[in-house]
Amino acid sequence: MPEVAGKEVGTCWNGGENYGALDYNSLVLVEQYLEKYPEYADKIVLNIKGGVNPDTHQIDASAENTRRSLDNCIAQLKGRKKIDMFEFARRDPAVPMQETFDLIEKEYVQTGKIEGIALSEVRAETIHEAVKYTKVLAVEAEISLFTTDILENGVAAACAQYGIPIIAYSPIGRGMLTGQFKKFDDLPQDSLLRSFDFPRFQRENFEKNMQLVEKVEDIAQRKGSLSRRPGVPTIIPIPGATTAERVEENSKLIEITDEEMQEIDDILVKFTPAGERYPRAIPVNT
């Protein structure tokens, strides 16, 4: 079983201060769950994103906002669980990383308020710089059959170099690889994929991207891990779900043969996703 923050990871929970309203976000849901099931507090690794300024809605790594974000996240858990990893959702280019990490280390890690620091949506250069100032417990990055960027842009290689596990978000392509969407009109009208104009889910790109789903459909349920490949660090997928049934399905461990992996590789070599991962207004690879 892989380890993150010195713990065996059977269950990695990923949330954020801005996942929902500030006063009713994923931290509140975690607190409510642990109030009912306190025995699970030590069985999960809790990874929380923060750092968004509530007034500007931009990443803000200033000392003032760093303290505000961390204090708010800690308070919302009401002592039921310590945050194992705290990460800014993106790097703030306006504030030196060393300043932010020094503050978090001295005021929050060394005082026992949180366990440690992770990174989110960063480029390889940021990882190489960050390890000079702090122990990076994990790097959160998008990876799926649609998004294999980190395997080519140096991010996975940097993580492997420093023994940093990758927390892989959107491993099923924001739902596209589940098979529940066959055409653009299948997307719910209130879906964030529509309202935030995610390029890969726009009508002009949707059908092109469905071609990949169709090609891997017969082996999709036999997906395995990239982690056992040379030069690739431990990868811990964190698929989202809205029902208990989907959580159970996503939690099953299924091995994939080398032949099946090669079959997928051959498909990916010939396929280029249509559209970028995020709308232009959302920063990536920070």
Q: Which residues belong to the active site?
A: 19
Helix (H, G, I), strand (E, B) or coil at 257: coil
Q: DSSP E strands: which ranges in 163-255?
A: 166-169, 235-238
Angle at 68 between CA 59 and CA 86, to 5 degrees: 65
Q: Which H helix or E strand runs over 141?
A: strand 136-142
Q: How far is CA 148 from the centre of its chain?
A: 14
Burial label, 162 (beta-carbon count in 10 A; 0-12, 13-18, 19+): middle
Place of tokens 């049934």: 245
Report how far residue 212's alpha carbon sits from residue 42's, in angstroms, rounded to the nearest whole number: 39
CB 124 within 8 A of CB 158: yes
Report how far residue 263's alpha carbon sits from residue 265's, in angstroms, rounded to the nearest whole number: 5
Helix (H, G, I), strand (E, B) or coil at 237: strand
Q: Which H helix or E strand runs over 7?
A: strand 7-8
| Cα→Cα distances 200→90, 100, 179, Å | 21, 34, 15
